[in-house]
């Protein structure tokens, strides 16, 4: 088990952990019924915090931010000398948490995506983990929630008896949801992004040799160029440039240089 704590990458405190440590932290919080915010950050997710002071504040209040992308894992090695055996990839982390939940008899709740996606996801999870308790699911409304809808969402998840909530809303909406709902749900809330789509079979994952070389983004860009070109062709070079500034100490990135959001956004 590897856990070197939080490391500053461009002003975002990312946890230098392996899968075992990340899963253990989540399961400990589930056992204690403790609010616990988790997200797996690749370059895009990290850069949303770098470029938005309010979102930077949110991310740095998370209990666990795992290095989802290889470039984030490499950054921790270059900047802080932290050597991790692998990244902690959101889809795999989701499956590892489900595996442990099945072993320990803990129930999960699925929030986000469409009804059709959730049906496929539940079928795939039931096939992989026959004894996993899925306490319930709730599709996204694909818009901001009203305060009444927020209260209804919280009541639905809590009434289900779930001990862990998995959220698939896409970045950064899922991180906003996790930040805003963590305390009210009083359990681990995991922002897992495209994990729902990958596990359900709606999206193909990049070949392992591309993933290992930090080129998963190129594969995804080839599949969805019109939707993702800005994300990868603009943010990736900016990430590298800012990383060089931090590495050479020409610019310091202070995690406390952030502003708390003035109001809730209530994504759902």
In the chain, what are the domains?
3-200 (3.40.50)
Peptide bond into 172 cis (omega under 30): yes
pTM for the predicted model, two decimal places: 0.93
Going by DSSP bridges, is the β-strand pair 107-111/133-138 parallel, antiparallel, or unpaired? parallel
Per-residue pLDDT, 268: 67
Tens digit of each residue's pLDDT (9 = 90 or more) over 194-206: 899 999 988 777 6
Which value, to the nearest 10 degrees, does the dihedral of the CA atoms of residues 89, 93, 12, 179 take?
140
Q: What percent of the chain has pLDDT over 70?
A: 95
Q: For helices 90-104 and 19-32, what crossing angle results, to 10°?
A: 50
- In the predicted model, is pLDDT for residue 266 greater than 70? no
**pLDDT of 151 strictly over 80:** yes
60: pLDDT strictly greater than 80: yes
> d(Cα 233, Cα 69) in Å, to the nearest integer?
16
């Amino acid at each position: 088990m590897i856990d070197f704590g939080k490391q500053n990458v461009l002003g975002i405190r990312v946890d230098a952990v392996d899968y075992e440590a990340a899963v253990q932290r989540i399961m400990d919080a589930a056992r204690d019924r403790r609010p616990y915010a988790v997200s797996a950050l690749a370059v895009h997710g990290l850069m949303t915090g770098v470029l938005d002071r309010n979102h930077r504040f949110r991310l740095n209040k998370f209990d666990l931010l795992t290095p989802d992308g290889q470039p984030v894992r490499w950054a921790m090695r270059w900047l802080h000398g932290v050597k991790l055996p692998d990244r902690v990839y959101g889809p795999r982390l989701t499956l590892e948490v489900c595996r442990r939940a099945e072993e320990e008899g803990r129930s999960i709740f699925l929030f986000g995506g469409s009804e059709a996606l959730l049906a496929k996801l539940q079928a795939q999870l039931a096939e992989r983990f026959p004894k996993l308790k899925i306490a319930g699911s709730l599709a996204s409304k694909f818009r901001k929630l009203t305060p009444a809808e927020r209260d209804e969402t919280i009541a639905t998840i809590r009434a289900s008896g779930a001990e862990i909530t998995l959220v698939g809303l896409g970045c950064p909406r899922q991180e906003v949801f996790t930040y805003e709902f963590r305390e009210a749900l009083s359990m681990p809330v995991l922002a897992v992004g495209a994990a729902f789509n990958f596990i359900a079979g709606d999206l193909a994952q990049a070949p392992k040799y591309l993933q290992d070389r930090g080129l998963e983004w190129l594969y995804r860009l080839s599949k969805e160029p019109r939707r993702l070109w800005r994300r990868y062709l603009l943010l990736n070079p900016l990430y590298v440039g800012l990383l060089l500034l931090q590495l050479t100490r020409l610019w310091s990135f202070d995690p406390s240089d952030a502003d708390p959001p003035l109001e809730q956004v209530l994504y759902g």
